[in-house]
Structure 1
Amino acid sequence: MPPRFLKEKENVYSPPRAASRRRFFVLAAIAALVLLVAAVIIPVYFTVIRKPSDRSASAGSSSGSSNSSTSGSSGNSNPKSAVAITGGDGSTVTMDNGSTFTYHNSFGGRWYWDANDPFNNGAQPQSWSPALNETFQYGVDRIYGVNLGGWLVTEPLSSVPALYQKYPGTIDEWTLSQAMAADTASGGLNQLEDHYKSFITEQDFAQIAAAGLNYVRIPLGYWAIETRQGEPFLAKTSWNYFLKAINWARKYGIRINLDFHSVPGSQNGWNHSGRLGTISFLNGTMGYANAQRTLDYIRIIAEFISQPQYSSVVTMLGIINEPRAIFISNENVQRFYGEAYSIVRTASGYGAGKGPIVSLHDAFNGLPWWAGWGPGADRLALDYHPYVAFDKPQPVDSITNHVTLPCTRWGNQLNQSMSAFGMTAAGEFSNAITDCGTYVNGVGQGSRYEGNYIYDSSFQRVGSCTPYIQWQNWDATYKKAMMQFAMSSMDALNNWFFWTWKVGNSTMSGTVEAPAWSYQLGLQQGWIPTDPRSALGACGNTDPFTGTLPGSATGSGGTTIDSSFLATIGWPPTTITNAAPVTGLPSYTPTGAVPTLTAASFTPTTSSVTINAGNGWNNPSDNAGFMVPINGCQYNDAWMESAEPTPPACTPARKRDDVPPSLITPAPQR
């Protein structure tokens, strides 16, 4: 800024004509001094001293912004100095690595970052989305969101496919981690951190705000907290990058839905759970013990994000991604949800406005099945993943004939769920109408469209996937149809998170080979709307939701799930699928030290300022121990197939509650 400022001033003055040499030098020295002072004082005043928050007491700090003490260190540091702390379209942003870029946001968004006040919530993604220090009115303000899939939980589709293509035979993060660890010449398992550093960066968050989006859903695996014997994942490292995500989201006014995507033993047997093929969460001999571990991890995460320094940014917690009730049982899914909800509320505190919205996946039962579940709940939401791509049969015609399909399939049931359950959002959906695309189904699993899907031979070949993959050949008519399908989906779903923000390039072609799954590519190529609001009315109704959202789901009322309801579903389970009564199964005891998550470290530019980043634990009264093995007990591998025999019995673990009577699950509502 000073060089440009001096140049502007230089053009104002004319060179002296008749002055003596001495007088010239004296005047020149005075002028230089004045200009130097102006160049330093004016920028400092307008960008540091006279902050936007000075104009309004409510325009900045959150309740958690405190200058009392510094706590925590994760290696995630912030800039020691910055010329500007806020700006809008066309302003220059200094990133946390010291480099700069020009901020482009035509929607009136503003970024905000002050190293001396890192918990300031003054940023706003767009003029029509609430700033972080304002109330997001669920049911009124729409969630326009996108997933950051493949970043902190890798998977062949969403991550850079090259990660998996480098190691033939790898099919999930488990096998990828093993292969990387063995490849010490390339950096070993730390190659995953290279992926964390490069796949999603600060500029992605700026671009997300500029795309008209106000939320991100970030999948996180349990290995962000710890791993145990035999688990090959890179432990504790991804948490450092989630902390970066919090800082970046805060800087650009984006809210976060933290989705607990991968749990011990796997909740669905799919590659994005960490390991393909097994389901040992609430299933099999280690099913109960794995659920105990998972509840502990949910508790640790909830305690951290419920701290006032973070609660305005991380506003939603998906407690488990896509559990398959058909294997786990509806009874035990409900028991787990009830216990997880209670744990999160214990961490955050009961009552309006405390802690995150607890998001429950529908466990593939469909939205009507959950109507009325959790009476009296405070801040509860239902997560739905409506995909067309995996339909049976696969479509034999073009997408041009399917552009209104989302309206007829989803609009009415989302509307009804908002009234019958409460806050309902599509946590995942895509622009794909077939399962074509490299690794859409996983490595080496074939596709339904080409008739070679390895898990179901009943799919008949429709044709070649090549036209769906080679987006460079799509003409204007096809792109227009893709755009119409995207807008119909957005309008019908009302509140949504597209899967996913970006898809990495394939080693084979050097480009994206699953184009219908990349929001970023769709923006660049013209089949995703540059303003999501333009989708309003695509289904013939400017606002599909016409009911009244229950107050408890918005955070404006409710205290806790009705106690009689919780007593009915109860925890722990009475029996575990493919195992035995829980009293005869391996379990853990709450006698360990809790591995509290650490906060980022911040370095203020002023020595008189200290920053309280929290101690990682919101509720000091939540003092139960960590679930650990019982001395003398025998345990199976946590990821062992459910058919393995139960180990010798030992003294049962202490439990939080008595074992409740068996729950008779009602039939699904259709």
Structure 2
Amino acid sequence: MELGFSKWVCAFLLSCWLIFSGAYSVEGLRGNSKVRGVNLGGWLVVEGWIKPSLFDGIPNGDMLDGTEVQFKSVTLQKYVCAENGGGSNVTVSRDVASSWETFKLWRVSESKFQLRTSKGQFISCDREGCSVSATAEYPSTSETFFIERKNSRVHIKLESGAYLQATMGNQLSGDYPGMPGWDDNAGTFEMTIVANNLHGDYQLANGYGQDKAKEVLKRHRNSFITVEDFNFLHRNGINTVRIPVGWWIASDPDPPAPFIGGTLVALDDAFSWAQAYDIKCIIDLHAAPGSQNGMEHSASQDGFIGWPTSPDYISKTLDVIDFLASRYATHPALLGIELLNEPSATTVPLDTLVSFYMRGYQIVRKYSPTAYVIICQRIGNADPLELYQANIGTHNVVVDLHFYNLFDTFFVNMSSADNIQFIYKSREAQLQALNSSNGPLVFIVD
């Protein structure tokens, strides 16, 4: 639709996808032509930067899951600190705040929170008068606190009603006498929000609560991408869409909390619209259980990357691939399935990733001999050639390379045409080297 032109200009600039092979052709496309596609990001997997207004109605919206905060006693002028980053006691003893003095919020409600240390333990106070520690591996009632706010000042209250205070001995204890006011007293702290970067499905659903989140996401999914958009893409020469999905789609319509059902119906619609307008679909598993990169588009709760550390998470991810492959393998609009988006090079070992990709490839091949199986490079300090040498599969394997010109200041003053020409010319040598390796095809985002 013409009124959507500005949205699609943005999509082209952010997600200009191409597949290169020796013959510059792709099976399954009319005339074996190139893939000319856009990414339908922010639709079935929420990314706050794409549509910030989705979060506008959340009360206490600057205290979502994963928000990083620091607390400074107004009387001692010292920061609350989880000694050694967690695993021992909590003090009020630091003049300068760094990682040990920074806590990530787990939101229980708009006023109740759990506080996670940099090493992953939770701040705990099991009774009135307790000495606060940071030893709990999992949060429960003893790790849940009310945070009362007045501008930047806060009180931290136990479920029992007692307030935490900073003692003259630099301890944090649950025994402030009575209710603290907002003057300079031992039960009042200055709270600094260090980072509030995560605005994904987890933050949205848990921030609004189930009922309101269902309303917000239903409205968003029904309007953000529509059949008219597929008509627009078809008329402008686009033959492929890449559709990010989250792992909870396999449990639709009732996924585990806090996630909200409805993405499977929307994906079914997308395939129907694609078929009607001769467009192909690439399903991209953007969010894996436990998070593969800690980012909002992986639906991370607080930035922690748990996917590679748990065989259960990896097994559940493969179950999602099986679900998607079995459902869409014979659909005429399917072009391929991307097994995992942007695994972290810092925390995802190569052998773990290669093993997962090999098993995912076999799952897709169980249902389709021709669908493209797309494997994404590790994000960070990783050589894309590592996947070319891994022998993931024998047929229609594609490596997804993320160059991300978008985030490179070198491109700030370039026009769209100059940016595209840079991709074609300056990336040419690298792409030819990859193509000459007789390995997988190449899939590029810039």
Q: What band does the TM-score fall into relative to the shorter chain?
A: 0.5 to 0.7
| Greater Rg by CA | 1
Paired AA for residue 240 in structure 1: V
Distance (whole Å) between structure 2 residues aligned to residue 301 and residue 376 of structure 1 = 19
Match of 1:315, SS? strand
What is the Cα deviation at residue 267 of structure 1? 0.6
Contact persistence 2:281–2:334 (CA under 8 A): yes
When residues 135 and 341 of structure 1 are mapped into structure 2, their CA distance, relative to the original with a 3 A threshold, is: closer
Instruction: Work out which of the residue numbers 329, 338, 342 in structure 1 matches 2:349.
Output: 329
Q: Structure 2 matches for 1:138-153, cutoff 5 A?
A: 141-153=33-45
Secondary structure, aligned partner of 2:321? helix
Q: What's the C-alpha RMSD, in Å, of the aligned pairs?
A: 2.8
| Match of residue 648 from structure 1 | none
Amino acid at match of 1:161: P
- Figure out how many residues of one structure are paired with residues of the other and give that number: 279
Relative to structure 1, the CA distance from residue 215 to residue 188 in structure 2 (aligned partners, 3 Å threshold; closer, same or farther) is closer
Question: How many angstroms apart in 1 are the aligned matches of 2:274 and 2:282?
Answer: 11
Counterpart of 2:290 in structure 1 is 265
Provide the secondary structure at the position in 1 that maps to 2:42.
coil
**TM-score under structure 2 length normalisation:** 0.58
The CA deviation string for residues 281-316 of structure 1, in whole angstroms up to 9 with x for no partner, is 012xxx211111111111111111123xx0x21110
CA distance in 2 between counterparts of 1:372 and 1:208 reads 36
Q: Is the 8 A contact 1:190 1:234 kept in 2?
A: no
Between structures 1 and 2, the one with greater strand share: 2
SS of 1:389 mapped into structure 2? helix
Answer whether contact 1:257 1:317 (CA < 8 A) is retained. Answer: yes
- Kindly state the Cα deviation for residue 230 of structure 1 after the two structures are TM-superposed: 6.2
State how far apart, in whole Å, the 2-side matches of 1:270 and 1:192 are. 20
1:428-454 Cα deviation digits (max 9, x unpaired) = 32xxxxxxxxxxxxxxxxxxxxxxxxx
Q: 1:308-323, aligned counterparts within 5 Å? A: 310=331, 312-323=332-343
Letter in 2 for 1:315: L
Task: State the partner residue of 1:215.
Answer: 240
**Matched residue, 2:29:** 136
Describe the superposition over 1:220-261 as per-residue Cα deviations: whole angstroms up to 9, x where unpaired: 1111122899630103x1000100001100000000011111
Distance apart, 1:397 and its partner CA: 7.3
Amino acid at match of 1:367: P
Q: Contact between 1:306 and 1:356, CA under 8 Å: does it hold in 2?
A: yes
Q: Is the 8 A contact 1:305 1:355 kept in 2?
A: no
Q: Go from structure 1 to structure 2 and tell me whether the alpha carbon gap of 1:219 and 1:396 turns closer, same or farther (over 3 Å shift).
A: closer
Assess if the C-alpha contact under 8 Å between 1:317 and 1:359 holds in 2.
yes
Amino acid at match of 2:29: F
Matched, 1:423 2:441: yes
Q: Is the 8 A contact 1:367 1:413 kept in 2?
A: no
CA deviation after TM superposition for structure 1 residue 210, in Å: 1.1
Report if the CA contact (8 A) 2:213-2:260 is conserved: no
State the secondary structure of the residue aligned to 2:427: helix
CA distance in 2, matches of 1:368, 1:206: 37
Give TM-score scaled by structure 1 length.
0.39
Task: Label 1:270 to 1:135 Cα distance change in 2 as closer, same or farther (>3 A).
Answer: closer
Gaps of 5+ in 1: 1-100, 103-131, 349-353, 430-670
What's the counterpart of residue 302 of structure 1? 325
Is 1:277–2:297 an aligned residue pair?
Answer: no
Partner of 1:371: 388
Alpha-carbon spacing, 1:271–1:396, altered in 2? closer, same or farther (3 Å): closer
Q: Does 2:384 correspond to 1:359?
A: no
User: Conserved in 2, the CA contact under 8 Å of 1:368 and 1:413?
Assistant: no
Are the counterparts in 2 of residues 267 and 280 from structure 1 also a CA contact under 8 Å? yes
Report the 3-state secondary structure (helix = DSSP H, G, I; strand = E; otherwise coil) of the residue aligned with 1:282: helix
Whole-Å Cα distance in 2 between the matches of residues 188 and 146 of structure 1?
A: 27
Equivalences for residues 160-309 of structure 1 within 5 A: 160-167=51-58, 168-169=61-62, 170=64, 171-181=199-209, 184=211, 187-226=212-251, 231-235=257-261, 237-275=262-300, 276-283=302-309, 287-307=310-330
Q: Is the 8 A contact 1:282 1:328 kept in 2?
A: yes
SS at match of 1:339: helix
Tell me, yes or no, if the aligned pair for 1:362 and 1:383 is still in contact at 8 Å: yes
Say if 2:305 is the partner of 1:414: no
Among 398, 417, 421, the alignment partner of 1:381 is 398
Q: How does 1:41-120 map to 2 (within 5 A)?
A: none
Q: Aligned residues: percent identity? A: 27
Residues 335 and 207 of structure 1: CA distance in aligned 2, closer, same or farther (over 3 Å): same
Unaligned runs of 5+ in 2: 3-25, 65-198
Which residues in structure 2 correspond to 1:204-603 (within 5 Å)? 204-226=229-251, 231-235=257-261, 237-275=262-300, 276-283=302-309, 287-307=310-330, 310=331, 312-348=332-368, 354-364=369-379, 365-374=382-391, 377-391=394-408, 394-395=409-410, 398-399=413-414, 403=419, 405-420=422-437, 421-426=439-444, 428-429=445-446
Distance in 2 of aligned mates of 1:399 and 1:293 = 43
Cα deviation digits, residues 419-472 of structure 1 (max 9, x gap): 32231111x32xxxxxxxxxxxxxxxxxxxxxxxxxxxxxxxxxxxxxxxxxxx
| 2: CA distance, partners of 1:255 / 1:389 | 25
The DSSP-based 3-state class of the residue aligned with 2:307 is coil
